[in-house]
Structure 1
């Protein structure tokens, strides 16, 4: 009886439902068109028309954390090519020296190296603050990051609490404390830019839960700061890259949707002062538009990779046991 009543109700109101469906379709279509037009403006027209800010006008020095690999190194080189002196902050002294030499061979700028392990506690930031004393900081690129070695269920994370502490220290505390160091002086001179490198996974990524959650923090932190300081001449940008050929992603081969760090940064850097939140690259924006239909990355996306990792772990354990017997 209830089914018959429901059918009768829909039959009597089918015109209303048709109108409602048409309105919803128009709204979705309009949003898609706006997203596409915004993408054309951001990734094609803005670089062509130079709508973004010239980094060198913000200050003579740029700071890049996690500066010896991937996106960080690409930003350091790109900013040096624009005439900015570069403060390179990373963990390994030898890599810092090599990156500084590479920058000097490309651009006639000054470099300064600061060897810091961001996985340690808040005591490290005093030495960073001392190293930056007296520098006219125009741009801070908070890039340093840490993720899982492979997708994993939260309760099975290797080294459990220590791994979580490491990811929180690197992904959350570094962004927060580095910003607290440079922001006051930027406010005093009423200019500066802070680029916080998050991830497209900030909208949800099962089996990378802690990493995804920390990137959600980076995005929220950036958007709120952008609102707070919009009238003070400070640019705060949330950068949300998708897959890139970096050590963090573990992807080695580039493609249309997986650019190299250099290709990605050469596009993303043009959005500083133009977009407060961006995926940084046109194909990443297109990919996220498609994924927004399901709102969150399905667990099945990373489940095969998790299973392969478990299989490899099993093989490694067998090999260790065999070696011990010998």
Structure 2
């Protein structure tokens, strides 16, 4: 056997081993309860309280309900007091846990001193950095964004600055106690460069890199820091699109994502979203960046918003 033949055989064997390992790792995602089990007391063992930003609606609300159902008291933060109070009552009635509300508009500059003051005496074991905004409901090119200067500031304040500031407030207590969980919500669109979602996707890339770096820094302190990057979830941000095999309800997604909490520093949160992420990262960018794809997506979002507006109008007329 000559050197070239041996080299090709070795290369082939290495490729088989590489993809075999990847297949094995992927297969674990099909059975999270088997591969990534957690005790029923896992969350309460982290601390008495969980903090959820953007906790009055959508994914944040679902996290607050699920964590309260696991036995933790919950702090929910959002900008609308009426919605916060309503959700707090619903959680308290359903779970019997304490719920504290903090009103905060995370698109504004100076909201964190008051938040820190309200949280300083709490034993916080879980932080969910969920709050986030889209530059606009209808995707568009960067320079076509309405009120671009103001939108840049709001997106960075809400999607980027808030996550870092909330970690600054809560992480020291976790480090002192040698335990804690931080879940930072990114987005599936951040897995590739995403034209017409450029500003939003870039802000979520920051979420991923910040979280992964932070996990490397604090993993040996007993703290779990994970990015969760969902694709379609039926929430206000997505126009409450109809749930299906790919688009999950917020409750379904949160239940699924928490099963992967010990699976690594990033997860897409559900098996269907894991497959979708793999597909997008494997597809040619020339195809995904084609104008026809973007125009089709814009038309789909516009149609969805029209349907939503029509339904809202009908509901108003029926009352």
Q: Same fold by TM-score, threshold 0.5 exceeded?
A: yes
Partner residue, 2:29: 39
Match of 1:135 among 122, 141, 164: 122
Please report how far the alpha carbon of residue 105 of structure 1 lies from its aligned counterpart in structure 2 after TM superposition. 1.2
Please report how far the alpha carbon of residue 125 of structure 1 lies from its aligned counterpart in structure 2 after TM superposition. 0.2
Please report how far the alpha carbon of residue 38 of structure 1 lies from its aligned counterpart in structure 2 after TM superposition. 3.0
Residue aligned with 2:219, SS: coil
Aligned counterparts of 1:133 and 1:261: Cα–Cα separation in 2? 30
Match of 1:283 among 272, 275, 281: 272
Pair 258,230 (structure 1): closer, same or farther in 2 beyond 3 Å: same
Aligned counterparts of 1:245 and 1:310: Cα–Cα separation in 2? 16
233-242 or 30-39: bigger deviation: 30-39
Partner residue, 1:26: 16
Residue aligned with 1:36, SS: helix
Residue aligned with 1:113, SS: strand
Please report how far the alpha carbon of residue 206 of structure 1 lies from its aligned counterpart in structure 2 after TM superposition. 1.3
Partner residue, 1:8: none
Pair 28,153 (structure 1): closer, same or farther in 2 beyond 3 Å: farther
Partner residue, 2:315: none
Match of 1:225 among 171, 189, 214: 214
Partner residue, 1:298: 288
Aligned counterparts of 2:67 and 2:246: Cα–Cα separation in 1? 24
Question: For 1:152-185, what per-residue CA distance to the aligned partner results, in whole angstroms no more than 9, with x for missing partners?
Answer: 0111111111111111110000100000000111
Partner residue, 1:210: 199
1:123-202 alignment, distance < 5 Å = 123-147=110-134, 148-202=136-190
Question: For 1:206-236, what per-residue CA distance to the aligned partner results, in whole angstroms no more than 9, with x for missing partners?
Answer: 1100000000000000000000001111111
Q: TM-score, normalised by structure 2?
A: 0.85
Pair 34,206 (structure 1): closer, same or farther in 2 beyond 3 Å: farther
Higher-Rg member (1/2): 1
Aligned counterparts of 2:279 and 2:301: Cα–Cα separation in 1? 28
Please report how far the alpha carbon of residue 20 of structure 1 lies from its aligned counterpart in structure 2 after TM superposition. 9.2
Please report how far the alpha carbon of residue 291 of structure 1 lies from its aligned counterpart in structure 2 after TM superposition. 1.8
- Gaps of at least 5 residues in structure 1 are 1-13, 314-326
196-205 or 15-24: bigger deviation: 15-24
Residue aligned with 2:126, SS: strand
Aligned counterparts of 2:95 and 2:102: Cα–Cα separation in 1? 20
Contact residue 53 and residue 273 of structure 1 kept, 8 A: no
Please report how far the alpha carbon of residue 37 of structure 1 lies from its aligned counterpart in structure 2 after TM superposition. 1.8
Two-structure CA RMSD over aligned residues (Å):
2.7
Question: For 1:5-56, what per-residue CA distance to the aligned partner results, in whole angstroms no more than 9, with x for missing partners?
Answer: xxxxxxxxx9899869956863674255134223124x34246x43798111
Partner residue, 1:81: 69
Aligned counterparts of 2:223 and 2:238: Cα–Cα separation in 1? 31
Residue aligned with 1:229, SS: helix
Contact residue 77 and residue 102 of structure 2 kept, 8 A: yes
Please report how far the alpha carbon of residue 299 of structure 1 lies from its aligned counterpart in structure 2 after TM superposition. 2.7
Question: For 1:238-290, what per-residue CA distance to the aligned partner results, in whole angstroms no more than 9, with x for missing partners?
Answer: 11111111111224201111110000101112222343211111110011122
Aligned counterparts of 1:312 and 1:119: Cα–Cα separation in 2? 26
Contact residue 186 and residue 207 of structure 2 kept, 8 A: yes
